Amino acid sequence: MIIRYGDEEMSCLVRRSAAVTGRVRIHVYPDGKVEIEAPEGKEPDQIRAAAQRRARWIFQHRHAALAAQRMSRPRAYVSGETHFYLGRRHKLIVKQTKARPPGVKLLRGKLEVSVPVADPAGVRRRLDTWYSDRATEYLSKRLSEIAGSLNWLSGKPPLKLKRMKTQWGSCSPDGVIYLNPALIKAPRHCIEYVVVHELCHLAEHNHSKAFYELLTRSMRGWETAKRELDGLAELLLAE
């Protein structure tokens, strides 16, 4: 679908969703792509008109996303960079020292990495290990807490962490929940959304209307968390 604003025009992907029952939803992703979620019964002309009414907002956010993409740089793993943890940016401090064992500490908004040699590859390995340990602890705890709060679940399902390039989580046919350890970098409410989403697949193994009704009963405001996570996905998954 083509929408226009002034002298500009762009193509948008239209996706019909059982979860959308009122107004169309518009998502601008970090790579500049625009997706329009629309109710299943909405006519194309109605969808186009709804998107056109928000054309200024769409183009502004698309321009901002493309500008941010141009400004992004590959990680160098040196002091001064910022890295995400539970949705917050933390300044990386690399300390070269042989006086203490190598490791990572989170201190007052800073990620301090102690290494005998300030080698970026070594710094990255220690950060990756630290993130993996934090993800194992935090995600397991949250899965237990959230599963225990859902009265339609009989118990906590098995959890496995799995690195994925484009997904935050999945649910296997035999009821195992897989979560991407990179989730530990996302805000807490976004993590909750992914966990609830995958737990709902234990009851509804697709993205049907029944699935979204269960998701909405299980977590109010999940749409906001999903949009925020979608906006962060490229940044967090690429770290």
- Half-sphere exposure at residue 52, Cβ-oriented, CA atoms within 13 angstroms: 11
Residue 39: phi and psi, rounded to 5, are -60, 155
- Domain containing 58 equals 2-71
Per-residue pLDDT of 221-238, as tens digits, reads 899 899 888 878 877 876
Cα–chain center distance at 33:
16
Residue ranges of the chain with per-residue pLDDT less than 70: 67-73, 238-239
Residue in 18, 16, 69 with CA at minimum distance from that of residue 46: 16
pLDDT given at position 209: 93
What number of other Cβ atoms are within 10 A of residue 99's Cβ?
A: 7
Contact 112, 90 (CB under 8 A): no
Per-residue pLDDT of 168-187, as tens digits, reads 999 999 999 999 999 999 99
Distance in angstroms between the alpha carbons of the first and the last residue of the chain:
32
Whether residues 20 and 113 share a domain: the answer is: no
pLDDT given at position 218: 96
Whether residues 172 and 66 share a domain: the answer is: no
Question: What CATH number does the domain containing 186 carry?
Answer: 3.30.2010.10
Whether residues 146 and 33 share a domain: the answer is: no
What is the bridge-based pairing of β-strands 177-179 and 159-161?
parallel
Provide the token pair at 207.
Answer: 């993205």
DSSP string, 140-151: HHHHHHHHHH-T
pLDDT given at position 31: 76
Domain membership of residue 76 (yes or no) is: no
pLDDT given at position 91: 92
pLDDT given at position 181: 96
Domain count, the chain: 2
